[in-house]
């Protein structure tokens, strides 16, 4: 189905998140620095799709995700959700929008209150947004959701420390889905889990997505997991979007040099192919987001860089299904 036929849920326009960093200089007149965690990302998300977000540590993936839901304040740009700009809403209006957008966090145990039972943790959103529900109605909703995510309803009165990491992540998923949101942002939800448990959680998310009609933004370091779950993939580098493509196309024929380097690092299950493949190593150090290179932020490590790359900052150019941020590449 083309993007034209799908319903547009989220339209992110030139999103920037900059942090002022106090100067460590002994000179009192030294200016504070600015850390550009996200520096102008443009992307659309459509109903029912999964957008994967990848990139090395420190590229701004988690800050990008938190800015979408208002956990981090955007410096510039717009996050348009079903026609409403979330960045311009006051606290009360944003609170109402959170019924439609929920988040699953990276550390399954740290994201759960150790003093609350599983039942109370999952029920908390219901009690917040639907205070008119009776105790029995809340309990029924909670137990039904626990069953949906693979938890036994009879453990409703246990505490988080009594569960494994995979079970804790299922509790986090249940809490995120109890309000029946339209979008769930998954911030590295399987990175703290064993490989076998990762597969269970990813498959659970895919099943729930199909069952509930969810849209997902799935952030991860594991490119194999991203390939398995994503319809489209956004590649980020130093706070910038460098490539956007459909999942299979991106893994089969990446266009941007940075994407090629990432994809070459993905292990191949076939030992012969794994030994014969060429790994494209990046030269040089990752620049500081407080002092990014002029022009293209990737130019200091790019094998295709020219003198003009230092002058013009490229933007994603192309379609919703394949776009590249590079003046040397046209798609």
CA distance 185 to 195: 21
Q: Which DSSP symbol is given to 282?
A: P
Q: How many CB atoms lie within 10 A of CB 190?
A: 27
CB 108 within 8 A of CB 191: no
CA distance 169 to 96: 25
- Average pLDDT over the chain reads 89
CA R_g for the chain = 21
Model pLDDT, residue 270: 72
CA distance 186 to 218: 5
Does residue 38 surpass a pLDDT of 50?
A: yes
CA dist 215 → 96, 191, 201, 208, 234 (Å): 18, 20, 16, 10, 15
Which H helix or E strand runs over 59? none
Q: pLDDT tens digits for 248-304?
A: 889 888 999 999 998 887 777 777 776 777 777 788 888 888 889 999 999 999 988
CA distance 257 to 262: 9
C-alpha angle with apex 198: 194 to 204, nearest 5 degrees? 145
Of the candidates 204, 133, 128, the residue with the CA atom closest to the CA atom of residue 166: 204
Report, as an integer, the average pLDDT of 1-26.
Answer: 80
| Structure tokens given for 103 | 């988040």
CA distance 286 to 301: 8
| Per-residue exposure over 89-122, b if at least 16 CB sit within 10 Å of its own CB, e if not | beeeebeeebeebbbbbbbbbebbeeeebbbbbb
Architecture label for domain 8-18+35-100+181-324 = 3-Layer(aba) Sandwich (3.40)
Model pLDDT, residue 25: 63
Does residue 2 surpass a pLDDT of 50?
A: no
CA distance 198 to 83: 35
Model pLDDT, residue 1: 45
Strand partners, 36: 18
Q: Where are the domains of the chain?
A: 8-18+35-100+181-324
Q: pLDDT tens digits for 55-85?
A: 988 899 999 999 999 999 999 999 999 999 9
CA dist 208 → 113, 158, 167, 177, 181 (Å): 24, 24, 16, 9, 12
Helix ranges (DSSP H) in the chain? 61-69, 91-97, 118-129, 135-148, 165-177, 195-212, 223-229, 247-252, 257-264, 271-276
Model pLDDT, residue 277: 74
CB 99 within 8 A of CB 179: yes
Specify the pTM: 0.90
Q: pLDDT tens digits for 169-179?
A: 999 999 999 99
CA distance 275 to 273: 5
């Amino acid at each position: 189905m083309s993007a034209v036929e799908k319903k547009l849920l989220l339209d992110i326009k030139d999103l920037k998140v900059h942090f002022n960093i106090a100067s460590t200089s002994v000179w009192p007149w030294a200016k504070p620095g600015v850390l550009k965690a996200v520096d102008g990302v443009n992307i659309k998300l459509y109903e029912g799709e999964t957008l994967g977000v990848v990139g090395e540590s420190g590229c701004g993936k988690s800050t990008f995700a938190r800015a979408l839901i208002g956990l981090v304040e955007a410096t510039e740009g717009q996050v348009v959700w079903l026609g409403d700009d979330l960045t311009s809403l006051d606290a009360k209006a944003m609170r109402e929008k959170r019924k439609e957008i929920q988040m699953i966090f990276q550390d399954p145990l740290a994201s759960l209150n150790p003093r609350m039972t599983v039942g109370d943790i999952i029920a908390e959103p219901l009690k917040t947004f639907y205070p008119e529900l009776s105790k029995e109605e809340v309990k029924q909703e909670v137990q039904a959701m626990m069953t949906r995510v693979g938890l036994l309803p009879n453990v409703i009165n246990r505490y988080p420390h009594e569960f494994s990491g995979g079970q804790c992540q299922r509790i986090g998923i249940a809490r995120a889905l109890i309000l029946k949101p339209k979008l769930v942002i998954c911030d590295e939800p399987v990175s703290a889990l064993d490989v076998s448990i990762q597969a269970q959680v990813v498959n659970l998310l895919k099943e729930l997505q199909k069952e509930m009609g969810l849209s997902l933004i799935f952030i991860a370091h594991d490119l194999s997991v991203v390939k398995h779950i994503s319809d489209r993939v956004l590649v980020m580098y130093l706070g910038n979007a460098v490539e956007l493509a459909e999942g299979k196309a991106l893994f089969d024929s990446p266009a941007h040099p940075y994407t090629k380097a990432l994809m070459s690092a993905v292990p191949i299950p076939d030992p012969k192919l794994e030994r014969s493949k060429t790994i494209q190593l990046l030269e040089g150090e990752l620049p500081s987001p407080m002092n990014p290179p002029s022009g293209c932020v990737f130019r200091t490590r790019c094998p295709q860089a020219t003198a003009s790359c230092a002058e013009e900052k490229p933007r994603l150019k192309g379609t919703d299904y394949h776009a590249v941020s590079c003046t040397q590449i046209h798609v």
